[in-house]
Chains A and B, each alone.
Chain A
Amino acid sequence: MLPEALFFSAVLFVIGVVGVLTRRNAIIVFMCVELMLNAVNLTFVAFAQVYGVAGQIFVFFVMTVAAAEAAVGLAIIIALYRHRQTVNLSNINLLKG
């Protein structure tokens, strides 16, 4: 059971990483980050079956923090949308050099 869970979470994590690196829409990039976090949660739960409850407690912390992060992150995306009327990262290029 453990190897399957680990394999599945690794696949999820890699999908998230590839999404962050290739997608250009800020919302989708953010969703891919959430996918990575959930892959981490799955890993913790899988290991918690072997090692005891600490891994499951960690999952609760990760979920809470992810919710707080989402609140701030979506606020930032909205703030930028009000200025630029787009959330496409290719158009967000004022700062460079």
Chain B
Amino acid sequence: MPIFDLSHPADLTAALFPDLLLMGGAMVLLLWAVWRRESAAHQRTIGLASIWLCVATLGAVLYMLFHQGHVTDGPIAADSFRFMVDVIVLLGTIAALALGIDDNDRMGTTTAETHVLMLLASSGMMLMAAARDLMIVFLGIELMSVSIYALAGLNRRSVRGAEGALKYFLLGAFSTAILLYGIALVYGATGTTGLYEIHQRVVELQLGSSPLLLIGMALLLVGFGFKVSSVPFHMWAPDVYDGSPNPVTAYMAATVKTAAFAAFLRVWLEAFNAEIGTWHRAVAMLAIATMVVGNTIGLLQRNVKRMLAYSSIAHAGFLLVAVAAGSMQGASAMLFYLLAYTLATFGAFAVIVVLSRGDAPVTTEDLSGLWTERPWLAVAMAVYMLALLGFPVFGGIGFFAKWYVLKAALQAEEPQIALAVTLVLTTVVSAGYYLYVIMVMFMRPRPANSEAVTPTPGWTRFVMVATAAAILILGIFPDQTVRYVVRGTPRLGAYVPPVKTAPARQAALTH
């Protein structure tokens, strides 16, 4: 069992090894990407190399997950929660890179740097998963966001892409500024940015009703609300998802959400654990609003990408239920849900990559009668839709994901009946658009004037087969999966470092 003493640079480096591997590798790949002249072949090579780099990082993460040592209290966590989030993020990144290779070919994009940007965004996400200090949370969010602003505007020939990128950039920067002001006020109230130290100071100095802390928490909640696209901070999501290239949209919908929720949960449960009475009601209200609005507006969409955008907003609501439960069980339910959601989202976007033509949006019209022309494509899409809906058996892991969130809400210290009821009812509503897609594919005739669907490119086929197989197989063995995920439950509150006494002048300031 290794012991990491985070005050030693060597140990800190070891604890950050997977993150450093990904960042260093991304730098090398960036040089390689710009070394050669732009070409489709070079783009594919860099994409393949990026996938291998992610696989290597995944190996390092899995090693750390199974060989965890004792870690001293510090700015970086080395717990299983961090590594489980890393696993989900890296699986999503591999899928996004694979789809990206094919989508770049389809759109005639030959810039190889696109893959490197995705790697840099992923290293930011891994930093968010690891952060136990608001400073690192901020740096992780920004490393992720700045890369994704650029990715959203990847296709320079597309005016829709440029528009989506601008909206994402302006609202992203706005939300970051709000988040930062929240961090500044929390720092002002407690005198520290470390998550565990904040918790200690809040308890020791009884800062529960300090206006600085309360306003700071509210601003942090708004900032994170933007990042996870919860209602009423969701307005940007449908436009940005609609305008961005397909693989980037899948990446934003699934992987970015995973990282944002990881940081959200850790900040809330680790730093403001003592204040759960204060923030719980606010998070629960956000969850209810997000589930209701996301699912009902989703019903009105005929553009499949916009529909999936509202579906992703609705799923943010379901995930907020797990956060609102405020328990270890809620945290592991959230991880399991994120895994299921990532698999289903990337599968659905793989189908969209196949169906897309040029810059035009894919509508439900393009899906009608898909069963008669490309039966396997239709079957795969049906599996993803049922998984997103949480349908038993055919939806595989999706059903159990909802089930565990529901269980966490009902078994929380204070049972969350209202949240559980809303979750079930809005899931029924969401059947209205998920099943509509299936109905259109299997029961409508193929329009006579429709063009033939292009053959599925290799990497896209790989993503579709892998995600569909994982959804169904993990759906047969949910208990085993959950046992692994439970390892990933953050040991929040289980840290028992020596209690540090607050500086005397800190005490003098507050009395």
A residues near B (Cβ < 8 Å) are 6, 13, 16-17, 20, 26, 29-30, 33, 36-37, 39-40, 43-44, 46-47, 50-51, 54-55, 57-58, 61-62, 65, 68-69, 72-73, 75-77, 79-80, 82-84, 92, 94-97
B153 touches A26 (CB 8 A): no
Chain B CB within 10 Å — which of A39, A50, A73, A92 has the most?
A: A73
A20 touches B174 (CB 8 A): yes
Q: Within 8 Å of chain A (Cβ to Cβ): is B429?
A: no
Given A43-B185, A61-B135, A97-B303: A80 touches B166 (CB 8 Å cut-off) = yes
Q: Within 8 Å of chain A (Cβ to Cβ): is B187?
A: yes
B239 touches A95 (CB 8 A): yes
Name the B residues within 8 Å of A82 (CB-CB): 162
B166 touches A65 (CB 8 A): no
Q: Within 8 Å of chain A (Cβ to Cβ): is B398?
A: no
30 contacts between A and B (CB under 8 A): A20-B174, A36-B174, A36-B178, A36-B181, A37-B177, A44-B187, A50-B509, A51-B192, A54-B187, A55-B187, A57-B135, A58-B183, A61-B138, A61-B139, A65-B138, A69-B173, A73-B170, A75-B150, A76-B169, A79-B156, A80-B159, A80-B162, A80-B166, A94-B159, A94-B160, A94-B163, A95-B239, A96-B239, A97-B238, A97-B301
Nearest B residue to A44, CB-CB:
B184
Nearest A residue to B141, CB-CB:
A65
Nearest B residue to A81, CB-CB:
B162
Q: Mark B345-370, 1 if CB is under 8 A from A, else 0.
A: 00000000000000000000000000
**Complex: how many Å from CA A96 to CA B137?**
32
B72-93 residues with Cβ-Cβ distance < 8 A to A are: none
Shortest distance between the CB of B48 and any CB in chain A (Å) = 26
B191 touches A51 (CB 8 A): yes
Given A51-B187, A54-B192, A76-B162: A65 touches B139 (CB 8 Å cut-off) = yes
Nearest B residue to A78, CB-CB:
B162
B177 touches A26 (CB 8 A): no
B301 touches A40 (CB 8 A): no
Q: Within 8 Å of chain A (Cβ to Cβ): is B500?
A: no
B146 touches A69 (CB 8 A): yes
Partner of A95, one of B164, B180, B191, B301: B164
**Complex: how many Å from CA A37 to CA B180?**
8
Shortest distance between the CB of A62 and any CB in chain B (Å) = 7
**Complex: how many Å from CA A82 to CA B158?**
11
**Complex: how many Å from CA A50 to CA B164?**
42
Q: Within 8 Å of chain A (Cβ to Cβ): is B4?
A: no
Nearest B residue to A6, CB-CB:
B188
Interface residues on B, range: 35 or more
Given A44-B184, A72-B146: A54 touches B193 (CB 8 Å cut-off) = yes
A95 touches B169 (CB 8 A): no
Q: Within 8 Å of chain A (Cβ to Cβ): is B488?
A: no
Name the A residues within 8 Å of B159 (CB-CB): 80, 83-84, 94
**Complex: how many Å from CA A33 to CA B223?**
14
Q: Within 8 Å of chain A (Cβ to Cβ): is B400?
A: no
Q: Within 8 Å of chain A (Cβ to Cβ): is B320?
A: no
A76 touches B165 (CB 8 A): yes
Q: Within 8 Å of chain A (Cβ to Cβ): is B306?
A: yes
Partner of B177, one of A33, A50, A55: A33
Name the A residues within 8 Å of B193 (CB-CB): 54, 58
Q: Within 8 Å of chain A (Cβ to Cβ): is B505?
A: yes
Shortest distance between the CB of A16 and any CB in chain B (Å) = 7
Name the A residues within 8 Å of B243 (CB-CB): 94-95
7 extra interchain contacts, Cβ-Cβ under 8 A, other than A33-B173, A54-B135, A83-B159? Answer: A30-B173, A36-B177, A51-B191, A57-B135, A69-B176, A80-B166, A97-B303
**Complex: how many Å from CA A57 to CA B138?**
13
Partner of B149, one of A33, A40, A72: A72
Nearest A residue to B243, CB-CB:
A95
**Complex: how many Å from CA A75 to CA B135?**
27
B177 touches A47 (CB 8 A): no
Nearest B residue to A59, CB-CB:
B184
Closest 6 CB pairs of A and B: A36-B177, A95-B239, A83-B159, A43-B184, A80-B162, A51-B191
